[in-house]
A and B are shown apart, each in its own frame.
Chain A
Amino acid sequence: MRLTSGIIAALAAALHTGSVLLAAQAAPHVSLNPAEIGKPPVTSWPTFNGDYTAQRYSTLTQIKPSNLNRLAQRWVYKITDVGAQRGAPVPIVKCTPLLVDGVLYITIPDHVWAIDARTGKPLWHYDWVDRGGHLIGQRGVGIWNTTVFFLTPDNWLIALDANTGRELWRKNYADARKQYFSTSAPLIVKDHVIVGVGGDAMDMPGFLDSFDPVTGDLQWTWWSTPRKGDAALATWPNEAASDHGGGMTWMPGTYDADLNLLYWPTGNTNPVFAGQGRPGANLWTESIVALDPDTGKLKWYFQVSPHDTHDFDNTTAPIFFDRVVGGKRRKLLAQAARNGYFVTLDRETGKYLVAKPYVPLDWSAGLSPQGEPIPIPDKDPTVGGSINIVNASNWEAPAYNPKTGLFYVNSVEGNAIYYLTDNSAQPSGYGGTGAGIGHATRVLKAIDPLTGSAVWQHAYPNLNNAPSTLGPSILTTASNLLITGDDQKSAIIFSADKGQVLWHSELSASESSGVITYMLDGKQYIVSAAGDTLYAWSLPK
C-alpha cells in the first residue's frame, strides 16, 4: 500500500507539468498592449468581459435583425482530445473566449487552446496535469502583450507565450489541500495580473493576489475578511471566525480607469449554511468591493447579502454604466445578485440608488439605511428545513445595452428547502444542505437599472428545471440584438428593446460559454460554445 502510493506520488510529481502541442503551421503574431483592454471591443475581445465595463455590448451592426435569416455557421471546433475529467464526464466550455490578432483562446480545466479564428483550426494546445483542485469550470485566459495567463484547478498562475503556448513561468498562490481551487480568468489591469480564488469546503478566507506580468512576483494581496486591527472585525464574533470566513473571489472583477478603482464581487460566507457560529454581518463576504489596483487597499464596499446563510455567493458580474440621475451625470454600477436583489450603486462612493428584488422572494425584512437587504432569521436553514429561493443568478454573464438603457440577466425563479445539518455552537464547512423543491424556471429579464423593475421578461418554457449551475450568457449589440440561449440546446437572438425572438438555431448542447462578437477581415463574427463545441457564425459573402 505504502509502496504503491509512493510510486504513484513519484509518478504524479514527474507528471506535474504542462505540455504543449503545436500545430504544423506558422506561429501567429499576437500582441496586446494592455492600454487597449479598456476600449470598446471591435476587432478584438481582449478580456473576459470584452472591456472593463462588463457590459458585453458591441457597437458592431453588420449583423442586424433584417439579415438574421442569412446568419450561418462558418466553422465549428469540437474538443476531441480530452476525455472525462475528475467529476466531469465530458468537457464543457465555460470560458469566455478571447480574440486577439485573429487568434481565439478557449479553455476548460487544465487545458488552453489557441484557435485560428479564420479557420477554426487549433494552433496550439497547452495541457496541465493538476494535483488537486476541483474541475468545475474554467472561465478563460488574460492577455498582456505577448503573454497569456491561465489559472489551474490547483492554483497555479501559468504564463504562456501567446503565439506558441510555451510555458514562460508558473507560480502557486493557494493550497488545494485546503480546498482552494481556481477557475477564474485573470484580470489584466495595467501592469497587474489580478487573480481570484474559489473553495468553500474548509472555511478558508478568500483573497485577491496581484502579480507582476513579467516576473510573476506578488505585488499585493487583499483578504476578503478583515485581519487584526481592522474595524470591520466588529462584524465577526472573533478573529478566528474572520480568518475562516470565506468570501471567495472566483469570478473576474472590473476596473474604472478614470477612478483607478478595481471592483470585485465576493462570494459566500463560511461556514456556508450554518451561521450560528458567526453572528454579525461578516464583512467583506457577499459584497461588491472597490480597491486600489496598485495597492489592493479597500476604498469602499457594499454588502449585498449581510450574514449570508444560503450560499448566495455574490459573484455575478457587476456592470458599469453612466447615466444622468437628477440632472447629474453619475458613474454607476449594477448587479443582479444571486440573492435575488438587483442593486445599482454609485461607482465613486458605493452609495446605493436601487436595491430591489428581481425575482419573487420573502427572505428579507427590508433595507438597512445603507440599502443592504436585512435577512429574516426564520428563513435561515434549520434542522426541520426552511424554504427559500434558489440562487437567482450565477456566473453566466449578464449584459447592459446603452442604447436601450436596459440590464439583461437570465435569472432563475425557484425554491429550495435548506437544512441545518450541524446545529452545534461551532459548525464548520457547509454545516447544511439545500435541495430544490417545485419547478425552477429560467426567466430572461430586461431591467431598468434606475428603478430595478423589469421592462420586459421572457420565461423559457421547459418541462425540466432550469439548471442552477450552467446557463446561457448574454451579449447585446448596437443593432438591437440580444444574443443568448435556452437550456434546451437553442441559441436564440432576441430584440434587445422588446424581447421578441428574432432567430434561433439548435446546437449540439446548451450554450455554456460567454458569447462574443468581433470584426475580422471585414466580417462580423459571433462566437460561443455549447458543451464541447465552439461555434462561429457570420453572414455569407
Chain B
Amino acid sequence: MNGTLRSRLVRVLLSGASVALAIGLPVHVGAQEGAQPQPSYQNMTPEQRAAATRAFLGLGPEPDKAAAARGAPMYRQSCAFCHGPQARGATGSSLITSDVVLGDDRGEHLVAFLKKGRPERGMPAFANMTDGQLADIAEFIHLQVEEVANRGAYHVLNILIGNAASGQAYVAAHCRSCHTAETFAHIGSKYRSPDQLQRSWIWPPRPADNSLAVTATVKTPDGASISGRVTQLSDFRISLVDSAGITHTIDREPRVLVEMNDPLAPHQQMIQALTNDDMHNITAYLDSLK
C-alpha cells in the first residue's frame, strides 16, 4: 500500500517538519490529545495556523487558491451534479478520501485521469478540456479536501446571533456589582473578531501590568506573613513576588498557611452558570459598544 504513496504527501512531510519547528508547535492536535489548542496556537495568524496544522497532519501542499477559483465554475458545471458542490458526494462518491485525489500533487495524475474518466463506472471522459482547465479542477478538489481535513484553516462563522437588548439587561443586573460603565466603553472595537470579544469578556486575559494577577498571603510557622503576586503554586511550593519586587519561594510544610485571592474568581463562577443564550446576548450587546 505504501509503495503507491505519491510525492504529494512525502514532499510535504519533509518540508513540513521545518515549518512546524519554525513556528513552535504543538498545534491543535485533535481527538487523541483533547480539543483545546495551545496558547501559542491561539496567537498564530490564520495562515500560520493553517500551515502548522497542514504540516502536522501531513496533508500535502497548500492548495493554489487562484487555480481553485478558476476551477470552481468548471467543477460546478461538470462534476458537482454527481460529486456534490463541495466534493463530499451526491449520487457519486465523495472525493475527499478518494485514492486518486489523495495520490495527486498538482494535477500530475488527476489531469490524465479526468481526460479518460471511468466510463465503466459511469464517469464521463473530459477529453475536450485543456490540461490547464483540468489542473484547475484538480486544484479546486484539493481545496475541498483542505477545507475538510485542515482544521487549522477553519473559521468561526458570524457568532453575533444574540439579542443586544437582552444582553444589556443581563449586564445591568449581573455585572454592575464589580464593573462600571467605563469597563464596557468601546469594548466592541477592542478585539479583532467577535469570538475574541466573547472569549475575552468571559475570561479576560491577565494583563502584563498584573492588575488581574492571582495574589496570596502566606503565613509561616515562625509567625511571618508574606503577601504578593503568585508566580507558581503546587502542592509542595508557592512562589510569590512582594510589593518590593522580591521573589519568595516557600515550601508548603504542614503548618504553612496559604490564602489565595483570584480577581477572576467571580468569572470562573459565572462560567459554571452562564447559559448559551445569555452568552450570545451579552456578546451582541458588547459588540454594539464601538
Contact = CB atoms under 8 A, between A and B. Distances in A.
Interface stretch (B82-90, B120-128, B170-178): B82-90
B279 to A, nearest CB: 6
A421 interface: yes
A136 B232 contact: no
Interface size class of A (residues with CB under 8 A): 35 or more
Interface string A131-153: 11110110000000000000000
A409 interface: no
B21 interface: yes
Nearest to B26: A87
A53 interface: no
Contacts of A488: 232, 234
B223 to A, nearest CB: 23
Interface string B45-61: 00000000001111000
A428 B88 contact: yes
Contacts of A13: 3
Contacts of B272: 360, 415
Contact of A417 (B88, B160, B199, B232): B199
Contact of A9 (B6, B16, B20): B6
B185 to A, nearest CB: 24
B191 interface: no
Contact of A131 (B9, B149, B195, B271): B9
A523 interface: no
A395 interface: yes
A60 interface: no
Interface string B150-170: 110011111111100000000
Contact of A421 (B30, B157, B231): B157
Contacts of B86: 424, 426, 428
Interface residues of B, number: 83
A461 B58 contact: no
Nearest to A421: B154
B222 interface: no
Contacts, number: 249
B149 A179 contact: yes
A39 B218 CA distance: 50
A207 to B, nearest CB: 15
Nearest to B232: A463
A418 B34 CA distance: 13
Interface in A329-370: 360
**Chain A contact residues, majority secondary structure:** loop
B26 A198 contact: no
Nearest to B15: A8
Interface string B255-290: 000000000100110011010100110010000000
A287 to B, nearest CB: 15
Interface string A473-492: 00000000000001010101
Contacts of B271: 387, 415, 437-438
Interface in A371-426: 378-379, 382-387, 390-391, 394-395, 415-424, 426
A365 to B, nearest CB: 15
B20 A463 contact: no
B135 interface: no
Contacts of A310: 35
A44 interface: no
Contacts of B103: 177
B94 interface: yes
Interface string A192-226: 00000010111110000000000000000000000
Contacts of B55: 86-87
Interface in B1-57: 1-3, 5-7, 9-11, 13-14, 16-17, 20-21, 24-37, 42, 55-57
B230 A202 contact: no
B96 A428 contact: yes
A179 B57 contact: yes
B148 A468 contact: no
A501 B235 contact: yes
Nearest to A170: B2
Interface in A495-536: 501, 504
A244 B34 contact: no
Contacts of A461: 233-235
Interface string A83-120: 01111110000000000000000000000000000000
Contacts of B32: 134, 136-137, 183, 198, 250, 313, 395, 469
B123 to A, nearest CB: 18
Interface in A417-460: 417-424, 426, 428-430, 432-439, 460
25 contacts: A4-B11, A8-B10, A86-B58, A89-B26, A131-B5, A132-B10, A134-B29, A136-B29, A177-B99, A178-B102, A179-B149, A201-B57, A203-B97, A387-B271, A390-B35, A391-B34, A394-B33, A418-B35, A426-B88, A426-B89, A434-B35, A461-B233, A463-B233, A469-B29, A492-B235
Given A391-B34, A417-B202, A430-B30, 20 more contacts: A8-B11, A86-B13, A131-B5, A132-B5, A172-B1, A176-B2, A177-B102, A177-B103, A200-B31, A360-B272, A417-B198, A429-B149, A433-B35, A435-B37, A438-B203, A460-B235, A463-B214, A469-B26, A469-B33, A488-B232
